[in-house]
């Protein structure tokens, strides 16, 4: 019974994975036999003692009990190496805790990070924990010594995971808080360009980032911050604003230099002629830099005295060097108006010498408006022919009725206004007025032929020779009552009519189709009436009524004369 109890107590002492102390009982070949006080001895491969270790019988050693009885040999399975590792790890746990700071040397680069030797402990430094910013190349860090923060102790893998990044960030946070508390508006600080965006650049003020907006980079215009800055560039910036609650700092670069607008009027007085470079184009004009940080606008209306400029890009390109004249300076709103055409002579100043009133000129029809046609007399100089000055004989409602674009015409200069840059031309004035011969050519009582050119509610216009129109009133179309002119006549229809009225003052010719049946006496009386002679008594057919001329006058009293309308 005593032997059984002793055996049971002995077995409870020995558990797999426990550390036990034993004595070397024998050394044979590569096996070291160790007596741990169990009923059988155990063996350990001699390589676990180290390459240069001298193992002797009687040496005391601490080993790990791997297995009490090996299934194949029946011996106790022991491990010196695993015992050493457990002892070393227990010492590590005594020395290090998560969050402590240690010093180590980077041994090598491995997949995902670096191995760090800390005393006799090997720790793992993930690649994401090397620096604050991502690191692409890890090899340059091998051999360097740094301080690290223990961020995790892994019992499963028996290793330490450390971070250099957390230490750097902690230091940066302290520096950032100190710097944020000490910054004052208006002070100039040294910084380094950390990052560039479309709207500005972030400047590192030695631990604190500030925003340098694109509008605060230059007194002049820039399209993108990269035109002035590069990542890594060092520069002096002014603190414009500090928001300590939100930890935001606004910086300015242009504020470190004098505002050129303060002396702009002395440098660029109105009327001064200067050179500049086109830095930007808009639909309405071009921005020209005439000094660093000083831009002026040349409106498209100030590009040329004569050319019609629709867009600034039609005449200029960004980067062009141009001569301009200062037209106005607005210091308060920082605006300068410039002109390009003022650098050249104004051709309108001498236009009266080249195109005097009354002279005949030639040109091509360039464009139409509702009220007239523009004729190009020379490059950039147009004259306008009003519809009322296009024909002696017809009322023109739109210039396309008698002109075509590109048509070369001869006209007379009627008026010249250099101040308003206007020249009035007359097309009909370049031709003889046919009305001077109308009375002899179209005598009252004579018979004429023509084509119906237009039908109106009150009558029909008949085109005669020389473009002259006569009007047949609805009452003079037929002996029968006519309700609608179009019921009796068609446009283009050839008709014969008798001239019953000629009014040179109002340029009217009255025609009558029904008068074609007049007798010779009636015609004579009509001619006498036109000559101002009292007519003879008319036949019974017209007796008791007004003369035909007077009837025509009464019929047309309330009619607006619009031949060709």
Angle at CA of residue 431, ends 491 and 470, nearest 5°: 30
Q: Is 564 helix (H, G, I), strand (E, B) or coil?
A: coil
- Following CA atoms 314, 320, 323, 329 in sequence, which dihedral angle do they give, to the nearest 10 degrees? 80
What radius of gyration do the chain's Cα atoms show? 56
Classify domain 347-430 by CATH number.
2.40.50.140
Same fold, 24-95 and 347-430: yes
For 559, residues 6+ apart whose C-beta sits below 8 A from its C-beta are: 458, 459, 471, 473
Instruction: Tally DSSP H helices, then E strands, for the chain.
Output: 8, 30
Cα-to-chain-centroid distance, residue 537: 87
For the chain, the domains span 24-95, 96-168, 183-256, 260-338, 347-430, 435-555
For residue 162, give the nearest of 216, 205, 122 by alpha carbon: 122
* Confidence (pLDDT) at 544: 33
Domain 96-168 class in CATH: mainly beta
For residue 359, give the nearest of 320, 415, 319, 313 by alpha carbon: 415
Cα dist. 406→400, 412, 517 in Å?
12, 18, 48
pLDDT digits (tens, 9 = 90+) for 258-298: 888 888 888 899 999 999 999 889 989 999 999 887 889 99
CA end-to-end span of the chain: 144
Cα separation, 473 vs 489, whole angstroms: 12
Given a contact cutoff of 8 angstroms between Cβ atoms, the answer to whether 459 and 485 are in contact is: yes
Where does 435-533 show beta strands of DSSP type E? 447-456, 459-463, 469-473, 494-503, 508-512
**φ/ψ (deg, to 5) at 248:** -125, 140
For residue 36, give the nearest of 83, 87, 90, 86 by alpha carbon: 83
The CATH fold of domain 183-256: OB fold (Dihydrolipoamide Acetyltransferase, E2P) (2.40.50)
Is 3.40.50.2000 the CATH classification of the domain at 260-338? no
Given a contact cutoff of 8 angstroms between Cβ atoms, the answer to whether 429 and 392 are in contact is: no
Is 2.60.40 the CATH classification of the domain at 24-95? no
CATH of 435-555, one of 3.30.750.210, 3.90.320.10, 2.40.50.140, 1.10.10.10: 2.40.50.140
Please, what are the averages of pLDDT over each run of 10 residues along the chain (565 residues)? 50 75 87 85 85 84 83 77 83 82 92 88 90 88 93 80 88 82 89 92 88 89 88 92 88 88 86 92 91 89 85 91 93 90 87 91 92 90 91 84 91 92 91 77 86 90 83 89 90 91 82 85 69 53 44 53 47
């Amino acid at each position: 019974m005593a032997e059984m109890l002793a055996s049971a107590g002995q077995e409870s002492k020995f558990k797999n994975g426990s550390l036990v102390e034993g004595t070397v009982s024998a050394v044979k070949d590569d096996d070291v036999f160790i007596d741990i006080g169990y009923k059988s001895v155990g063996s350990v491969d001699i390589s676990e003692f180290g390459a240069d270790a001298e193992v002797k019988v009687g040496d005391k050693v601490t080993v790990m009990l791997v297995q009490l009885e090996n299934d194949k040999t029946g011996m106790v399975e022991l491990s010196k190496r695993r015992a050493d590792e457990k002892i070393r790890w227990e010492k590590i746990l005594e020395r290090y805790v998560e969050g402590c700071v240690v010093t180590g040397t980077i041994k090598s680069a491995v997949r995902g990070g670096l191995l760090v030797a800390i005393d006799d402990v090997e720790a793992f430094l993930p690649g994401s924990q090397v620096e604050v910013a991502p690191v692409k190349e890890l090899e340059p860090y091998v051999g360097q010594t740094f301080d690290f923060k223990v961020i995790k102790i892994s019992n499963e893998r028996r290793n330490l995971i450390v971070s250099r990044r957390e230490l750097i960030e902690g230091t940066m946070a302290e520096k950032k808080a100190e710097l944020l508390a000490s910054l004052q508006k208006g002070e100039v600080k040294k910084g380094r360009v950390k990052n560039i965006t479309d709207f500005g650049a972030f400047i590192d003020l030695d631990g604190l980032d500030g925003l340098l907006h694109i509008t605060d980079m230059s007194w002049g215009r820039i399209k993108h911050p990269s035109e002035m800055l590069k990542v890594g560039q060092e520069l002096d910036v002014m603190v414009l604003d500090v928001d300590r609650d939100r930890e935001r700092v606004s910086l300015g670069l242009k504020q470190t230099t004098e505002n050129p607008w303060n002396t702009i009027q002395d440098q660029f007085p109105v009327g001064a002629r200067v050179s500049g470079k086109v830095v930007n184009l808009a639909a309405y004009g071009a921005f020209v830099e005439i000094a660093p940080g000083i831009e002026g606008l040349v409106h498209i209306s100030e590009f040329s005295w004569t050319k019609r400029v629709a867009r600034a890009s039609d005449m200029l390109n960004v980067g062009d060097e141009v001569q301009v004249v200062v037209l106005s300076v607005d210091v308060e709103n920082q605006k300068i108006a410039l002109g390009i055409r003022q650098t050249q002579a104004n051709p309108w100043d001498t236009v009266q010498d080249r195109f005097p009133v009354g002279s005949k000129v030639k040109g091509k029809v360039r464009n139409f408006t509702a009220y007239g046609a523009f004729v190009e007399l020379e490059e950039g100089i147009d004259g306008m022919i009003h519809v009322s000055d296009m024909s002696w004989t017809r009322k023109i409602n739109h210039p396309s009725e008698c002109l075509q674009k590109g048509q070369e015409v001869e006209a007379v200069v009627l008026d010249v206004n250099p101040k308003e840059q206007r020249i009035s031309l007359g097309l009909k004035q370049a031709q003889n007025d046919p009305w001077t011969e109308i009375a002899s050519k179209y005598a009252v009582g004579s018979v004429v032929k023509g084509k119906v050119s237009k039908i109106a509610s009150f009558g029909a216009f008949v085109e005669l020779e020389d473009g002259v129109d006569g009007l047949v009133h609805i009452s003079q179309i037929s002996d029968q009552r006519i309700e609608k002119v179009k019921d009796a006549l068609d446009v283009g229809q050839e008709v014969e009519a008798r001239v019953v009225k000629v009014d040179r003052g109002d340029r009217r010719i009255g025609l009558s189709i029904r008068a074609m049946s007049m007798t010779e006496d009636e015609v004579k009386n009509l001619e006498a009436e036109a000559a101002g002679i009292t007519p003879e008594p008319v036949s019974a057919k017209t007796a008791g009524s007004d003369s035909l001329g007077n009837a025509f006058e009464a019929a047309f009293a309330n009619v607006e004369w619009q031949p060709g309308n």
